[in-house]
Structure 1
Amino acid sequence: MKLFKYTVIALSLTLASCGKSFLEVEPIGQLGKEQLFSDLNGMRDALVGSYNLTSRFFQSQYGIYGDLRGDDVQRITNGTQNYMLTDYNYTFDEEDGTGGTLAIWSTGYEAINNINNIINSAETVRKSLNGRSDDFNSYMGQSHVLRGLLFFALANVYAQHYTYTADGSHPGIPIPTVTPLPSERVPRASMKDTYAQIIADLEQGITFLENSTAKTKIYASADASRALLSRIYLYMGRYEDVIKYSSLILNDGKYKLVNAEDYKNMFISDSQFSDFNSIKSEVIWQLNLNIRSSNFMSSFYSDRVAFLAYPSDNFLDLLATDDIRKSMFELQSSPERYMSLKNGKYSTTSDLNWPVNFKVIRSAELYLNRAEAYFHTQQYNLAIEDLKTIRARALGKNTADIIVEYSTPNELLE
């Protein structure tokens, strides 16, 4: 996807003694908001920019933040690169531009503001469709799904989890659906209202995209929205809805798990850099960028020369020796550390063809979501079947060969 930019060009104006005042003249070369969003072409171009902003958001600080705040990752601290080091050390400096706290907030809402402009142009654009209602529905649907996804991501960082209070009345995040004025202070909504907006956006996305065929898996789709609802309802503890939305996707059969031999390729095959139809069946939605940056997940985890984080021993110990997921880590010799390949490339692939992508959601997650929902609704045998499906792929075996043993429900959950 090409980076879409609007450039404001400052030009010298020769003032004449007659005509309109220069204060009333639109600057030459500047595309005004009303002009940009006057037709479908402007809506389309702004959507391209929104995808770029969203992709950069997920593949930069946000994509790294959760790992650094947990115990699955060790941050290399003996070098000169201090990118997100404060997050790893649980310190905060409001003037520190290398940390994630400020960057996630600003880049997330930058993308949301762009998307709000698209959604709020609907009535104007609707007047000039000229038979292109399918395109209009597609652009609107994708915009709603993107906004719901971004609100959800920001809530994960800046608010307590949904069930922190019984009724979700604790503070959530600001949920502007209209781009606020520079001086406007948008208050936080409750977590209940935050999630209500997220769900409304995703459901609206399904409505617009229901009869639209996604061009490729790098675009939001009705299926992607349903899959995200599976995740969101799991966070809310609405387990019957988790089962419903997970099953809608899994029972369709379009998003089959890749086999063990194809697992690594799903992440780092360079064909997906340009041939989006080569994206593996398991992927429901992924975000692609053409250009890798030093502050992206790809460089942070998977640059063979300068990676900054590696999996902890505790994390690696969770994986059996023959688990295919261990193939996603490559041992480096000096010093001996495992580098993650999940955001990397094959050594024979040039940096220019590095497949920079973020897997928003895969069918593998839906099996796990549904298994947890089955557990919480005391459907233990069904939970085991979903777990066996995931474990069989990880070990390269048939599901019939997988045995799940437990003596208590809590042991099964663990």
Structure 2
Amino acid sequence: MNYSKYITLFFLIFSLQSCSDFLEQEPGTKTSIDELLQNKQGVLTALTGLYTELEANVRGERFAIYADLQGGNIKFTPTASGTNKGQIVPAGNLAQLYSFDDLAQTSNFQSFYDGSYDIINQANLILEYTPALKDATEEEKKQIMAEAMTIRAYAHFLVAIVYSQDYKFTADASHLGIVYNTKSIKRGIQYPARETAATTYGLIIADLKEAIPNYSNLVLKGPEYSYFSRYSAKALLARVYLQKNDWTNAYETANDVITNSGVKLVPKENYLTEWAKTDLPVSEILLEFSIPKDSEGTVGASMASYFGYTSATNFGKYVASNDIANLYENSDLRKQLFLTQPLSTLVNGVLSPVNYNFTKKFQNNAGYVAFRLSEMYLIRAEAALETSKADIAMADINTIRARANTTLLTSTVNLKENILLERRKELCFEGHLFFDLIRNHKNISRNDGCISTSCGMTYPSSKFVLPIPTFNTNANPNLKQNESY
């Protein structure tokens, strides 16, 4: 394969010129890896390209809406015009997985799977070439490698939660995890087998623990919140510990971010206006990848393309289900983050105006929210409860509830359920619900707006993970397919 010698420029070019400019270049233009990554500028170009591809993979429609759609926070809007006006059908690129019936041969998620391992390969290339740079300081090299290693861990983690059953699926996490790549394809084509879930999480954690001490100063141009830093890497580590049910480390890591990151919760009086800002994330953001823009500053894509509302004939595919919208008290500020609009919908064969709740979190030029401080409070609360610190857990939940102007808890009875409920309300449309349900061995129950052939699913189920695309299992004889696929 030519990949052992060359790498196409498409994943690097965005730091130098717009996508439209690149498309005008001579077809098939390639650059030698050795040539590109021989100096600091080339490596920084590669790192910029790595972030570009990572942003596209997580903000892409498939992954960005997956957890909320499968968990029941999201339903579909009616067709806006044409002969099918008013009809409600699943998005074509998600129809299979929406019914918990994705197919290995034509997987809705193949681009996500392939994109994730492409990102991992690119991160490994940067990790392999950076130590030999002669025009970068040791501090710069450490920072570059810390970011690349964190991205490698993040990409593996996302693949793990989509393609491997939750960590406690087996008592010792001996069930199948994922392939964990620590070498680029340039070092030779390999055919690795999947690790166990226990080993997978151990490798993710090891990468993060190696990366975090090496963070220093930003080496890329642009807003700091767009790139991994010491504390956004720790936020990722806290999430990994949560998913693993490693409560002691989840508590300590989330507490570290809350206490030492310098980021503060958005105050109550600013909560609604912060989400309404154009181009900028909420102030409590730990990591939000910058959205793509061309050379004239025009936005290429954003979360608004899925959730946005412009007019009665111009709106996104996804709105809040009543399953989530009805959870909020009337006094809850977060209830005001729904934009209610009537849309023409076929009801018993007649077009009728029906109200739909669009989320205001992702209007205008909204980016993909990777990590924000509210999640750290919710992780600390859950971990505190699981380590016999119920008073701290209740205090953290009440911090979030007080900010939302909703009733405070006065008892630790049913505190676990209240924590999960608060996670659903606070983090809705940010990609958590389905994974929260599965790691807590909960059943799936989708009611309002569910047009799936499977609106409910009982834990455990082989359908709670997706099939590895057939192309990949055919290419790698050691890559074992998930059960039932």
- TM (norm. structure 1) is 0.82
- Indicate how the Cα distance of structure 1 residues 159 and 107 shifts in structure 2: closer, same or farther if over 3 A, else same: same
Do the aligned residues in 2 keep the contact of 1:129 with 1:136 (CA within 8 Å)? Answer: no
* 1:286-306 deviation line (CA, Å, top 9, x unaligned): 111134557x64211224313
Higher relative contact order (CA 8 A, sep 6+): 2
Match of 1:235 among 235, 243, 258: 243
- Indicate how the Cα distance of structure 1 residues 70 and 183 shifts in structure 2: closer, same or farther if over 3 A, else same: same
Name structure 2 gaps, 5 residues minimum.
1-11, 79-86, 294-298, 344-353, 421-485
Name structure 1 gaps, 5 residues minimum.
12-26, 273-278, 346-353
Whole-angstrom CA distance in 2 between matches of 1:56 and 1:167: 34
Do the aligned residues in 2 keep the contact of 1:62 with 1:100 (CA within 8 Å)? Answer: no
Aligned length: 372
* 1:269-290 deviation line (CA, Å, top 9, x unaligned): 1252xxxxxx543111111113
Tell whether 2:358 aligns with 1:339: yes
Whole-angstrom CA distance in 1 between matches of 2:239 and 2:189: 35
Whole-angstrom CA distance in 2 between matches of 1:230 and 1:190: 21
* 1:134-193 deviation line (CA, Å, top 9, x unaligned): 322221111111111111111110001112122221111111111237964332111112
The equivalent residue for 1:37 is 37
Do the aligned residues in 1 keep the contact of 2:231 with 2:261 (CA within 8 Å)? Answer: no
Match of 1:190 among 192, 196, 220: 196
- Indicate how the Cα distance of structure 1 residues 411 and 175 shifts in structure 2: closer, same or farther if over 3 A, else same: closer
The equivalent residue for 1:391 is 401
Whole-angstrom CA distance in 2 between matches of 1:222 and 1:177: 21
Whole-angstrom CA distance in 2 between matches of 1:388 and 1:217: 27
Aligned ranges 1:79-228 → 2 under 5 Å = 82-94=92-104, 96=106, 100-125=108-133, 128-129=134-135, 132-180=137-185, 184-209=190-215, 211-212=216-217, 216-228=224-236
* 1:187-212 deviation line (CA, Å, top 9, x unaligned): 21111121122112211221220x33
Match of 1:290 among 289, 292, 303: 292
Identity %: 23
Tell whether 2:11 aligns with 1:3: no
RMSD value, Cα: 2.8
Q: Tell me the SS of whatever aligns to 1:395.
A: coil
The equivalent residue for 1:350 is none
Whole-angstrom CA distance in 1 between matches of 2:23 and 2:374: 41
**1:240, distance to aligned residue in structure 2 (A):** 1.3
The equivalent residue for 2:346 is none
The equivalent residue for 2:50 is 50
**1:361, distance to aligned residue in structure 2 (A):** 0.8
The equivalent residue for 2:74 is 73
**1:227, distance to aligned residue in structure 2 (A):** 1.4
- Indicate how the Cα distance of structure 1 residues 363 and 202 shifts in structure 2: closer, same or farther if over 3 A, else same: same
Whole-angstrom CA distance in 2 between matches of 1:408 and 1:59: 35
**1:405, distance to aligned residue in structure 2 (A):** 3.0
**1:50, distance to aligned residue in structure 2 (A):** 0.5
Tell whether 2:267 aligns with 1:259: yes
Residues 247-256 or 84-93, more deviating: 84-93
The equivalent residue for 1:275 is none
Whole-angstrom CA distance in 1 between matches of 2:203 and 2:275: 31
Whole-angstrom CA distance in 1 between matches of 2:322 and 2:300: 28
**1:385, distance to aligned residue in structure 2 (A):** 0.7
**1:395, distance to aligned residue in structure 2 (A):** 1.0
Whole-angstrom CA distance in 2 between matches of 1:33 and 1:235: 36
- Indicate how the Cα distance of structure 1 residues 64 and 407 shifts in structure 2: closer, same or farther if over 3 A, else same: closer
Q: Tell me the SS of whatever aligns to 1:105.
A: helix
* 1:23-42 deviation line (CA, Å, top 9, x unaligned): xxxx9x63201111111111
- Indicate how the Cα distance of structure 1 residues 408 and 140 shifts in structure 2: closer, same or farther if over 3 A, else same: closer
**1:123, distance to aligned residue in structure 2 (A):** 3.2
Q: Tell me the SS of whatever aligns to 1:289.
A: coil
**1:217, distance to aligned residue in structure 2 (A):** 1.1
- Indicate how the Cα distance of structure 1 residues 7 and 191 shifts in structure 2: closer, same or farther if over 3 A, else same: farther
Whole-angstrom CA distance in 2 between matches of 1:62 and 1:311: 17
Tell whether 2:341 aligns with 1:302: no
Q: Tell me the SS of whatever aligns to 2:96.
A: helix
- Indicate how the Cα distance of structure 1 residues 196 and 360 shifts in structure 2: closer, same or farther if over 3 A, else same: same
Whole-angstrom CA distance in 1 between matches of 2:251 and 2:338: 32
**1:307, distance to aligned residue in structure 2 (A):** 1.2
Do the aligned residues in 2 keep the contact of 1:137 with 1:208 (CA within 8 Å)? Answer: yes
Do the aligned residues in 1 keep the contact of 2:131 with 2:141 (CA within 8 Å)? Answer: no
**1:263, distance to aligned residue in structure 2 (A):** 2.3
Whole-angstrom CA distance in 2 between matches of 1:361 and 1:171: 27
Tell whether 2:328 aligns with 1:323: no
- Indicate how the Cα distance of structure 1 residues 68 and 403 shifts in structure 2: closer, same or farther if over 3 A, else same: closer
Whole-angstrom CA distance in 2 between matches of 1:46 and 1:133: 18
Tell whether 2:368 aligns with 1:358: yes
**1:262, distance to aligned residue in structure 2 (A):** 2.4
- Indicate how the Cα distance of structure 1 residues 76 and 82 shifts in structure 2: closer, same or farther if over 3 A, else same: farther
Do the aligned residues in 2 keep the contact of 1:148 with 1:201 (CA within 8 Å)? Answer: yes
The equivalent residue for 1:15 is none
One-letter amino acid matched to 2:238:
S
